[in-house]
Structure 1
Amino acid sequence: MRTMSSGRLATLALLLLGLLFTLPAPAQEDDGLLPVTEAYRLSADVSTPGLLKLHWEIAPDYYLYRGRMKFKPADGVTLGEPTFPDGEKHHDEYLGDVEIYHHAIDASVPYTLPPGATRLRLGVQFQGCHEVDPKICYPPHTEQLDLPLPAVAATGNGSLGTALQQLGATRGGPGSDAPLPAEQAFRLEAVAQDRQHLLLRWTMPPGYYLYRDQTRLRLRDGGDLALAPQWPAGTRKDDPHFGSVIVYFDELDLPVTVTGDLGGRTRLALEASFQGCQDGGLCYPMMTRALEVDLGGSPATGTPTTTAPEAPPASATPGPLQTRLWLALLFALGGGLVLNLMPCVLPVLSIKAVGLLESGESPARARAHALAYTAGVLLSFVALGLGILALRSAGHALGWGTQLQQPLLVGVLALVMLAVGLSMSGLVQFGASLGNTGAGLATRGGMAGDFFTGVLAVVVASPCTAPFMGTALAYAFAAPALHALAVFVALGLGLALPFLLVGFVPALARRLPRPGRWMETLKQLLAFPMYLSAAWLAWVLANQRGADAVGLLLVAAVFLALALWWFERSRGRPGLVRAPVLLALLATVAPLYALAQLPPPLRAAQAETGTVPYSPEKLAELRAAGTPVFVDMTADWCVTCKANEHTVLDTAAFRALLERTGAVYMKGDWTDVNPTIAAFLEQYHSPGVPLYVVFPRGGGEGRKLPTVLTGSLVEQALTEAAR
């Protein structure tokens, strides 16, 4: 017999559920269930021209599906892309992985109407479930909305009808200062400056303006691609509809960065929704224009415009390449030097400290140690730079530390830290570079150990961003290939510089303590920072892939310990006796493979107390309301982020500062891959996290703060933003 596919089974189950839920309402009431209109109370607001705002009040123990919401416009009504907040992750028995809402939800839908329309008519369909006994799901429910519109919004995009004639009459007769059709009042065109950078231009006659915070850009069939606009400074205006806002008169040139893998695309389907007004006159409803942008540079226009904009001069789009190469190299050298003091690098430096103490007995050995370690650091930075350049040229969004967004790498790095710690504790010996004070080990083993210590230092340095590094890395990620590689080499040179100086300056080497038996105790003591690093990486893994990932990592750690134990016991014995070492190592790989296949955990998207989860829509809403905002882009694997949180952001003083200034603390989590946060980082030319941006109350551009925070610095920035 043929078996029925899972897709058909799911469809059949939904049909059966639909038949079940068509029972009369009294049967539901007998079970204690609310009628659908009481379980989900829908209200609508059309006070904002061109934008329908919807609000659902959801009864306790009920939830709504995000993916089951649909909108069916009446004849002549055109709806834009609806905007929903992020929902809670939920695994549904029939629908699979979905997002749901509890308590309440606000959504918005842009719309346009035919000329002379005075009402907005559409159907709103939604579906939800009761999540405690009796657990049932309602069939899809549709409510028909018939909403009267404010006079200013009851006009279409073509002929403006009676309302415009009345407006013209109040200005001295028909035709005097009468508003233009929307296509003439707001001309939109776009051109690709290169494959990753677009330029959008709005052209308006004198006396017309465009709202910044009412402008939305999206890609049709964009996949993982994201758009990051770089808004220029506009004009502050006290608007009767939206309050204090930023607007643009005459002309707006908007650079837009495309982040993500473009692959073999030659064109982009862009959709722009926006709204504007005639100064002192009519405000137009929300408009949506579709553009096809040729990535080869041919212009695209929103109907009916035909003129392509000229590419602006380089100075019109400020970015990281305004930094000169010599200055970027200086910042990179300083950043690499300071990186030695950051907590992420200190565990590995403990290994190097033992090697330096060993080398105190011979200047030649000191130089050899320093050169081998420096070679490992420099080659690792060059390899990292080449990898970033290759992925960037392919259109991938990549930043400093993003390799730790990969759970497999986090797991492997945790095992490496464990193995190094076991070696420093004396349970297994890998070579002279790990602190073996015996004289019988070969020099080659010691140099190889120093080299790979340098490699490990670069790997574990990636979660940290030191002062000066941000500017240098931002330059490297945008610069030509040779300049970028020079910056990475300078970073490596700064990281290795202290050990080079000790190796080649005899006066410094003479200040090192003399080798002795005490070094074995020191080496064993320094193993504990390695164990702490492994524990920290396990915590990062738990946040990325849940408890199952930590369980698999612990199983891999047990097999690794078994392999190292047998390796040490079988020294000097025939090869067959050492075969179990290979079997144990293979057993270590199996849970790591399973770990790499784990999906992100299904968990509710809950904000920390006192914070708001980052989303571009919420940020625009807060800025439109005149609220100062402190945006914090962070990640669990970012040690600098955690240090800033401990010393500044997770303190009573910071919470009191937020209350005093009326600012909102908005937080974005980049622990896992997130194109929305990557677009924000790209917008502010940040190579990675942490990124802190303070947006002022009165509008204007956000102020980017240094990567290492102090309480006084944050207080000054928020106090100025609240004025």
Structure 2
Amino acid sequence: MFRYLFAGLIGLCLFSSPVQAQEQDGLLPVEQAFVFRYTLAAPGRIALQWDVAPDYYLYRSRITAKTSQPGLTLAAPDLPPGIPKHDEFFGDVEIYHGAVEGSLAYTLTDPAATAIELTVTVQGCHEVEPLICYPPHPTRLRLELPPATATSAAAVGGLAGLGSGSGGSLIGQVTGQDALPEEKAFVFEAIASAPGEILARWTMPDGYYLYRDKTELALEDAAGMTLGALRWPPGVDHVDEHFGSVVVYYHQVELPVALRRSDGAAGPLKLRAAFQGCKENGICYPVMIRTVDVALPALTDAELAKAQAGFVPAAAAPDASAADASAENALRSTPPETGTGTLAGALLLALLGGLVLNLMPCVLPVLSLKVIGLAQSGESLTKARSHALWYTLGVLVSFAAIGLLVIALRAAGQALGWGFQLQQPAFVALLVYVLLAVGLSLSGVFSIGSGLAGTGQNLANRSGPAGDFFTGVLACIVASPCTAPFMGPALGFAFASSSLVALLIFLALGLGLALPFLIVGFVPALASRLPKPGAWMETLKQVLAFPMYLTAVWLIWVLGKQRGVDAIGLVLAGAVVLALGLWWFERSRWSGRPLVRALVVAVVLAALVPIVGITRLPPPAVDAAAIEAQGAVPYSREKLAALRTEGRTVFVNMTADWCVTCKANEKNVLGSAHFRERLAAANAVYMKGDWTNVDPEITAFLQEHRAVGVPLYVVFRGREEPGRVLPTLLTDAIVAEALAPAVP
């Protein structure tokens, strides 16, 4: 009976919780997904309204309001009941669809106040698969009060509906003393300043500033014309409440933009600009979009040729928007040659990758089990072949199951990389239990599979076909953190191919992993050299339990990185309950009392209860201080684009705590003084992204560079040169060559 329970634990590991998908094209901006309106509708009360777009929802508990204005006190938002939902991030919550109306009561004790200022923050998600959730989105409100309300706190009555707005950072009522209308706060114009150049200009009054990284340019209905690189002048470093460290411009900024023309005919050109800015120590405006006409002069053939010769292309494709161009410029790369252009080549690499995997430290605990099986098979060639076949079947079935899961998720539009299963805390906790159970079995606390035969069977017969099969399953599961360096090219081919080809490649990976054991089982000359069974096997079995325990400790550490110290406490408590159940199971094996056996199974199943608590724990915030202590900056798409715009060299390291190869590279190469010296000599920035937990932004980065998982190392040089993808196994020489000054 227990062997089926044990098999169920491993099965749960294979099909644990789904993967968070990365952002998809067509996702609405947050201001359009959750359109916000407000008004002063009654004495001491602000009316709030959200129009939630179809297929989106707002969290009720994530709607909050705060103020730093002296004398202004806010009550909790008065909101209607929502729809109950169990959320993977926040547990049991209520959500809103469609139109939502609420209110916010306030008390104003400052008789001299002429306006109220506050911030309303919301959070919501796009619920169509794949699920995508927005970060908390703050909206700053400023509402003018009628003169009559400025006399006393008791006279806040008589308020009319004075302010309303929609979008992100909203402007309430605009008056001569308040923020200027956007067309006066930010004057935009553009002219043709040279045969192959447009000059865009923004003019702002004193006290207003424009964000550089929130500014985009694109052409409308301009066949045969292409915008080139944006040549921003130096700006002012500014620490922003919403966007962190940014570059802004005051008063006036002129931006030269290269233009490629297919002919020299004169004619009009429509230039569209999307930009965002703020009033200093005041409100921030929503994204503003302006379209202006630019009169292009006629060019001679010589002038046109000269203009095209000096054209500096933008980072993106000609028909992409300016926002897409900026992002594409940050992410373009030249991957290393893989040599997997044919199915035969991919299958061969998959087979070799699985073969080499037997030497990796991740598989060491499973090798311990294989040593036991090989020793047992010394009794006869038939038994050796039986061990080999059942073990190989377990490996192949496991790889096929994971391959089918990957294919199904890909067909459903979800994005994932190899190693995604270890991003799930439930999977990691289950794997801890499996390894603990295997270790306790090897230590003699209980026996797996002894029910297959009667009392007195020797050790060689105890494991049986089921033991060999699930040893293969375990080999597949535990091996996954080590697969990327050797299986990456083949897996990349699989992820980009048809479902049948992908499944064949996964099976080839499994065959490579099982091949050494299969050869020993079917080659009599090798099988005959195996040691004969004896008393020494019991001692060896107990010694080999300790790699299992060490691997379980490593996974507990990974779980702590994913969900914090509370998760460690929960999984350790569950491990103690599991050990109690397994010990009791062995003690009651021959009691013959069904009630006792039922209680034993109940105790073992109770060990799974802490996993439910683990899944409800929120992931810790990115520890920016810890990353910066390593001489790195946390990865963000915007930060990478900004650094590239500045012409900086950027070394991007995508890693995960459960990735053994990542940790080895960081210890031996990226954590060395030589690496820091190379960075300093190249004036390079070290950027680090942590994929330990599901992160759609990093998943998107991996896919854009055709990587199937971590580690991924990309070196970007300056503005235009594509990034260079480095091998997954780093050396000092590889890094030195990648960061060396470019040869002119």
Q: Which amino acid in structure 2 is aligned with residue 608 of structure 1?
A: E
Match of 2:465 in 1: 447
Q: Residue type matched to 2:732 in 1?
A: G
Is it true that 1:636 corresponds to 2:657 in the alignment? yes
Offset of residue 660 of structure 1: 2.2
* 1:422 corresponds to: 440
Cα deviation, 1:530-549, whole Å, max 9, x if unaligned, reads: 11111111111111111221
Whether 1:494 aligns to 2:512 is yes
Q: Deviations over 1:160-194 (max 9, x none)?
A: 5xx66xx5xxx7xxxx9996999xx96569xxxxx
CA deviation string 1:50-105 (max 9, x = no partner): xxxxxxxxxxxxxxx97435599xxxxxxxxxxxxxxxxxxxxxxxxxxxxxxxxx
Identity of aligned residues (%): 52
One of 702, 717, 720 as aligned partner of 2:723: 702
* Conserved? CA contact 2:196–2:259, under 8 Å: no
Instruction: Pick from 40, 46, 68 the counterpart of residue 138 of structure 2.
Output: 68
CA contact (8 A) 2:200 2:255 kept: no
* 8 A contact 1:658–1:664 mirrored in 2: yes
> 2:643 maps to what in 1?
622
In the alignment, is the contact (CA less than 8 A) between 2:418 and 2:484 conserved in 1? no
What displacement does 1:509 show? 2.6
Contact 1:336-1:466 within 8 A present in 2 as well: no
Task: Kindly report the root-mean-square deviation, in angstroms, between the aligned alpha carbons of the 2 structures.
Answer: 4.7
Q: Is 1:579 aligned with 2:604?
A: no
Q: Within 5 A, what are the aligned runs for 1:348-497?
A: 348-431=366-449, 439-440=457-458, 443=461, 445-497=463-515
Pick which of 358-367 and 478-487 moved more: 358-367
- Specify the alignment match of 2:533 in structure 1: 515
The separation in 2 between residues aligned to 1:406 and 1:336, in whole angstroms, is 24
1:667 equivalent among 683, 688, 691 = 688
Give yes or no for the alignment of 1:550 onto 2:638. Answer: no
Query: Measured at CA, do residues 630 and 378 of structure 1 come closer, stay the same or move farther in structure 2, by a change above 3 Å?
Result: same
| Map of 1:325 onto structure 2 | 343
Q: 1:479 to 1:274 in 2, by over 3 A?
A: farther
Aligned equivalents of 2:555, 2:293: Cα separation in 1: 50
- The number of residue pairs the alignment matches comes to 511
CA contact (8 A) 2:435 2:552 kept: yes
State the partner residue of 1:599: 618
**Aligned-partner residue type, residue 419 of structure 2:** G
C-alpha contact (below 8 Å) 1:631/1:667 kept by paired residues: yes
Decide whether the 8 Å contact of 1:633 with 1:691 is kept in 2.
yes
Residue number in structure 2 paired with 1:342: 360
Match of 1:33 in 2: none
CA deviation after TM superposition for structure 1 residue 527, in Å: 1.2
Task: Give the 3 Å change call, closer, same or farther, for CA 675–603 of structure 1 in structure 2.
Answer: closer
Q: Conserved in 1, the CA contact under 8 Å of 2:336 and 2:726?
A: no
Match of 2:714, SS state, is strand
**Residue 680, structure 1, aligned to residue 701, structure 2:** yes
* Residues 557, 465 of structure 1: alpha-carbon distance in 2 compared, 3 angstrom cutoff: same
CA apart distance, 1:474: 0.7
* C-alpha separation in 2, matches of 1:371 and 1:678: 37
State the alpha-carbon separation in 1 of the partners of residues 527 and 551 from structure 2. Answer: 29
CA distance in 2, matches of 1:656, 1:353: 45
Give SS of 1:397's match.
coil
After superposition, the Cα gap between the structure-2 partners of 1:408 and 1:392, relative to the gap in structure 1 and judged at 3 Å, is: same
- After superposition, residues 10-409 of structure 1 pair within 5 angstroms as 12-13=75-76, 19=107, 22=110, 67-70=137-140, 144=179, 155-156=188-189, 167=193, 187=219, 203-205=223-225, 209-211=227-229, 249=260, 323-409=341-427
Deviation by residue 1:353-384 (Cα, 9 ceiling, x = unmatched): 11112212322211111111100001111111
Displacement of 1:463 in angstroms is 1.4
Check the 8 A contact 1:69/1:125 in 2, yes or no.
no
Q: 1:681, 1:688 within 8 Å by CA — same for their partners in 2? A: yes
d(CA) in 1 for partners of 2:357, 2:580: 35
Q: Is this contact kept in 2: 1:351–1:453, CA < 8 A?
A: yes
Contact preservation (8 Å) 1:344, 1:463: yes
TM-score scaled by length of structure 1 = 0.62
Post-superposition CA distance 1:552-595 (Å, at most 9, x none): 11111111011001011112111233232122123212212222
Q: CA shift at 1:344, angstroms?
A: 1.3
Instruction: Name the counterpart of 1:265.
Output: none
Q: Shift in Å at residue 599 of structure 1?
A: 2.2
Aligned-pair distance for 1:598? 2.2
State the Cα distance separating 1:273 from its structure 2 match.
11
Amino acid at match of 2:645: A
| SS of residue in 1 equivalent to 2:589 | coil
Preserved contact between residue 429 and residue 559 of structure 2 (Cα < 8 Å)? yes
CA contact (8 A) 2:231 2:255 kept: no
Change (3 A) 1:603 1:694: closer
Match of 1:88 in 2: none
Measured at CA, do residues 569 and 275 of structure 1 come closer, stay the same or move farther in structure 2, by a change above 3 Å? farther
Q: Distance in 2 between matches of 1:341 and 1:209?
A: 52
What is the CA–CA distance in structure 1 between the aligned matches of 2:667 and 2:648, rounded to whole Å?
25
- The structural deviation recorded for 1:473 is 0.4
Could you tell me which runs of 5 or more consecutive residues in structure 2 were left unpaired when the two chains were aligned: 1-59, 66-73, 78-102, 118-134, 143-167, 202-216, 233-252, 263-287, 297-303, 308-313, 322-333
Q: Secondary structure at the match of 1:427?
A: coil
Deviating more after overlay: 538-547 vs 508-517: 508-517
Aligned-pair CA distance for 1:301: 10
Q: Deviations over 1:36-63 (max 9, x none)?
A: 9xxxxxxxxxxxxxxxxxxxxxxxxxxx
Q: Secondary structure at the match of 1:608?
A: helix
Give the distance between the partners of 2:514 and 2:290, measured in 1 at CA. Answer: 51
Equivalent position of 2:737 in the other structure:
716
Q: Is the 8 A contact 1:123 1:145 kept in 2?
A: no
> Alignment partner of 2:647: what SS?
coil
Q: 1:588 aligns with which of 601, 607, 620?
A: 607
Q: How many angstroms does 1:124 deviate by?
A: 8.0
